[in-house]
Structure 1
Amino acid sequence: MEKQPLLNPRTTSYEFLGPPGALLITLGVPSLTYGLYFGCSEESGGCPPKLVLSRIFLSLADPEWWKGLWDAQAALIYLAWYTFCIVSWAILPGERVEGTTLRTGAKKTYKINAFSTFSLALSLTLGGIYLYGPQSFTFLYDKFVGFVTAAIIASVCQATFCYAFSFRPGSLLALGGNTGNFVYDFFIGRELNPSIGSFDIKTFHEIRPGLILWALVDISMVCAQATRRGGFGKVTDSLWLVLLFQGGYITDSLYNESDIFRQMDITTDGFGFMLAVGDLTWVPFVYSLQARYLVFNPVELGPVWIAAIVLFNAAGLYIFRTANSEKNDFRRGANPKNLEFFTTESGTKLLTSGWWGASRHPNYLGDILMALAWSLPTGFDTPITYFYVVYFAGLLIHRQRRDDENCKRKYGKDWKKYMELVPYRIIPYVY
């Protein structure tokens, strides 16, 4: 009992502007998810819709409009999907890997089989489409807003459970989530690694239900357009390109599942509403905006534009993958490229050449380039389909600043020396 306060010290500083900011984001993320749907959909009349402001307020004042956000069938399908992911984690074979060392000195062991879960889900989906045609898999597009509502409810339930669960004896709390303020701790995540037996709740949500569902949502968009245009042969090149880019990114993330155990979300953040709503709602239903737009606003690019966008995406993917490869090799004690590094007083080694000598977060540069490539197939008729690029760049800049603050506290004066060696944050010679 005497060691408990030292193991779980009270958090004395806030992020996201403290409880008011946490409350604003908690209410704002679901609202913005709905806003991006009604601001860019067939149901509302376009992207953006041609509605006067008075009609929007009249809709919000109508109880029937609010009832329309709920779809019992979509909720049951979503529950079945969530159950499928849990059962797949439990029964499919998977390698056991260790995560980073915790404050207790122990290491958690994780079962990794997200790629197997994805392969099974994809096989069942494509098999169903082959047998019953593209019209059999348009329900994710047709009932989109109902699925959004189901995912938001699941996010609230999951965050509430994890917050209450964190008060059990022996819980290891996140250093940033133990303020004692309910609103803030609920949002940021109070417990570092909430688990039921060997089932780690945070890593499960990080890589499975939302990420795999994102791929299935994109496939549903292709099916919706194929149904309207008379078959898969009539699907526009722009939509195929979005499916290729986003599907490739999702496949790469799932195949390299073990990489997430070194990310800030896993090593530092607790699991609260911020991660729950991000994983379950934001990823599948906001990141698929470009594909959804192309269903009702088809764009034909032609070979020249396709080649240009493919090269642009390839550049981003190359930077992202090679930068992460350099970092992961180095962390495992390998250095095949003989990269230079800086050793801190604590003995930690920080790369100062290769991609990690060009900037402190070169993988973020690759992410931003890919995000732009995923939006370019939608053309330039609306700025809404470029929301993802703007949001993602802001997210990565915020994450970079959080990481720099953590490193400053961890390495002290050594971090200042390191920043002199690697002065650029994300984009060399720019930022």
Structure 2
Amino acid sequence: MAPSSDKGKVAAYDPAPRTEHYEFGGGLGALGVTLAVPFFTYWLAFACTADQCPPWPMSKFVAFHSNGLEAMRASAWWESLWSWEAASVYLAWYFWTVACAIGLPGKEIEGVELRNGKKLKYTMNGECLPSCRFPLADSPYCLFPAFSTMMVTLGCIAAWTYKFGPGALLYIPNHWPQLISAALAWSAFLATFVYYQSYIGTQMLALGGNTPNPFYNASLWFIGRGLNPRLGDFDIKAFNEMRPGLILWIVIDLSMVAYQYSTIGRVTDSMILTVAFHSWYVLDAEFNEPAILTTMDITTDGFGFMLSVGDLLWVPFTYSYTAYYLAFHPKDIGLSGCAGVLAVQLVGYWIFRSSNNEKNEFRSGRNPKNLTSMQTERGTRLLTSGWWGMSRHPNYLGDWIMAWAWCLPCGFSTPLPYFYPIYFGILLVHRQTRDDEACAKKYKKDWETYKRLVPWRIIPYVY
């Protein structure tokens, strides 16, 4: 679904409307997710170590898990989940990215129009260097963009490693559970901070942030009460979505490369592919950072534990899991294996990026492909051709195909590296359902007409 930008004014603005729909089935569902995210992050770390990893088939996997619980409890890692040193290291990382966001040069960009008819401003320090702009294109992007936080961070890591070796990076795999605990604690602190901040003054709440149900209201710490919590001009939600967790994902990947090199004296082709795919994905996200301003996370969801733990714990410590696995269980897949995996990645990326470009160009008022669209009573239009004529969420399809490419280099000796595309598929279906519900309220009968024109949700002719 790709509507153009809504230029109409909101007739009546209520900063704290009553919530009509309970996410995750209400308070119990929110509690379940709150417990499940840290549990599975720890479990993935302990279930597969350098000494053991659960095998196929699933019957052996279940037996392994049952028999391994005692070993996990006896593990030195299990006995030392918390370290003040690791917590200090994690906070130093977090505030390094804050300092970069505040101190490095950037460009001020307007977000989408909110319920009150206003647009928030965001500083995106992916500002171009004047010498590297495209010479023949009216584009805000550049050929070698200084998307500053990530470039400065990677530059510092490269310089330090060249001068002193990879020892500093080995801190991450050697203190993995303690760093998980630090990220979890900081996620909980941020969720608590913005929850209480949402009661100060009059600020816009998320549509899911104000219910008459006292039990569910308690879970708003998880769902998120405030829509755009800020400290002055510093947008807490947008920052956490794009900076500390995403960039840490790549730093973790590099630490796993360092670990593999320190143990076997080289880096395998499977590790190179995995880290290249992850880096490509994150660099692409940072390069196209303004695109996040049109996503549901920014425009609709409150910022609570759901987003903070997702951004700061789940993304860096589970999305990097294939690199983690390959660090402890190195393998080569050969030239033909690399070619096959690369083909899957390229197909997924092509669908993901080209569909997102169509959407963003259309929303910005441009339509270089002359795509057809449907007029709605709200005054906006919905795309009905191109990628968005084949399914209502073609970018989700591309994203999911890439998820499989990230796991294939790990081989098939254990199911654990494949948790990600399975989890991600469930997440995308949930997002699609939420988005369809929101669009049904937004467009009313026009949405039913649109669904007849574009019947497939994610995968054309399948779902």
Q: Same fold (TM over 0.5)?
A: yes
Kept after mapping to 2: 8 A contact 1:174/1:270: yes
Letter in 2 for 1:236: T
* Deviation string, structure 1 residues 24-72 (Cα, Å, up to 9, x no partner): 11111111110111112226x3346985736625855x79875411122
* Deviation string, structure 1 residues 301-341 (Cα, Å, up to 9, x no partner): 11111011111100100110000000000001111000011
Letter in 1 for 2:231: I
Kept after mapping to 2: 8 A contact 1:210/1:279: yes
1:77 to 82, 89, 93: 89
**Matched residue of 1:402: which SS?**
helix
Kept after mapping to 1: 8 A contact 2:350/2:398: yes
Letter in 2 for 1:340: T
Match of 1:56 in 2: 69
1:42 to 23, 43, 50: 50
Change (3 A) 1:291 1:210: same
Instruction: Give the gaps of 5 or more residues in structure 2.
Output: 1-10, 56-60, 127-146
Letter in 1 for 2:69: I
Match of 1:224 in 2: 259
Percent of aligned pairs with the same residue?
49
What is the rounded CA distance, in whole Å, between the counterparts of 1:51 and 1:129 in structure 2? 38
What is the rounded CA distance, in whole Å, between the counterparts of 2:327 and 2:282 in structure 1? 21
Match of 2:24 in 1: 16
1:249 to 268, 281, 284: 281
**Matched residue of 2:108: which SS?**
strand
2:349 to 317, 320, 325: 317
Kept after mapping to 2: 8 A contact 1:41/1:47: no
TM-score by length of 1: 0.95
1:28 to 28, 36, 43: 36
Matched, 1:387 2:423: no
Which piece of structure 1 moves more, 176-185 or 360-369? Answer: 176-185
What is the rounded CA distance, in whole Å, between the counterparts of 1:214 and 1:312 in structure 2? 22
Match of 2:231 in 1: 196
Match of 1:352 in 2: 384
Match of 1:215 in 2: 250
What is the rounded CA distance, in whole Å, between the counterparts of 2:372 and 2:343 in structure 1? 30
* Deviation string, structure 1 residues 89-145 (Cα, Å, up to 9, x no partner): 111000000001111211100000262000011000111111122233111111111
What is the rounded CA distance, in whole Å, between the counterparts of 1:388 and 1:105 in structure 2? 39
Letter in 2 for 1:229: I
Kept after mapping to 1: 8 A contact 2:209/2:223: yes
What is the rounded CA distance, in whole Å, between the counterparts of 1:204 and 1:386 in structure 2? 29
Alignment of 1:159-178 (within 5 A): 159-178=191-210
Kept after mapping to 2: 8 A contact 1:215/1:246: yes
What is the rounded CA distance, in whole Å, between the counterparts of 1:52 and 1:388 in structure 2? 18
2:221 to 173, 181, 186: 186
Matched, 1:112 2:144: no
What is the rounded CA distance, in whole Å, between the counterparts of 1:80 and 1:111 in structure 2? 22
1:291 to 323, 341, 345: 323
Match of 1:416 in 2: 448
Matched, 1:303 2:303: no
Change (3 A) 1:52 1:187: closer
TM-score by length of 2: 0.88
Which piece of structure 1 moves more, 125-134 or 64-73? Answer: 64-73
**Matched residue of 1:9: which SS?**
coil
* Deviation string, structure 1 residues 349-396 (Cα, Å, up to 9, x no partner): 000000000100000000000000000000011111000000111101
* Deviation string, structure 1 residues 273-310 (Cα, Å, up to 9, x no partner): 00000000000000011000001111101111101111
Change (3 A) 1:200 1:130: same
Kept after mapping to 1: 8 A contact 2:277/2:345: yes
Change (3 A) 1:52 1:292: closer
**Matched residue of 1:395: which SS?**
helix
**Matched residue of 1:346: which SS?**
coil
Kept after mapping to 1: 8 A contact 2:278/2:406: yes
Match of 2:439 in 1: 407
* Deviation string, structure 1 residues 232-255 (Cα, Å, up to 9, x no partner): xx2100000001000000000011
What is the rounded CA distance, in whole Å, between the counterparts of 1:55 and 1:356 in structure 2? 47
**Matched residue of 1:16: which SS?**
helix
Kept after mapping to 1: 8 A contact 2:53/2:414: no
What is the rounded CA distance, in whole Å, between the counterparts of 1:240 and 1:332 in structure 2? 37
Which piece of structure 1 moves more, 236-245 or 171-180? Answer: 171-180
**How far off is 1:4 after superposition?**
11
**Matched residue of 1:316: which SS?**
helix
What is the rounded CA distance, in whole Å, between the counterparts of 2:393 and 2:293 in structure 1? 17
Residue correspondences, number: 424
What is the rounded CA distance, in whole Å, between the counterparts of 2:245 and 2:375 in structure 1? 38
**Matched residue of 2:23: which SS?**
coil
Letter in 2 for 1:27: L
**How far off is 1:177 after superposition?**
1.6
Letter in 1 for 2:149: T
**How far off is 1:404 after superposition?**
0.3
Letter in 2 for 1:53: S
Match of 2:186 in 1: 154
Match of 2:7 in 1: none
What is the rounded CA distance, in whole Å, between the counterparts of 1:65 and 1:300 in structure 2? 29
Kept after mapping to 2: 8 A contact 1:162/1:191: yes
Kept after mapping to 2: 8 A contact 1:22/1:183: no
Letter in 2 for 1:75: A
Instruction: Give the gaps of 5 or more residues in structure 1.
Output: none
Match of 2:139 in 1: none
Kept after mapping to 2: 8 A contact 1:162/1:271: yes
**How far off is 1:346 after superposition?**
1.5
Higher RCO (CA 8 Å, separation ≥ 6 residues)? 2
Q: Give the aligned CA root-mean-square deviation in angstroms.
A: 1.9
What is the rounded CA distance, in whole Å, between the counterparts of 2:406 and 2:151 in structure 1? 23
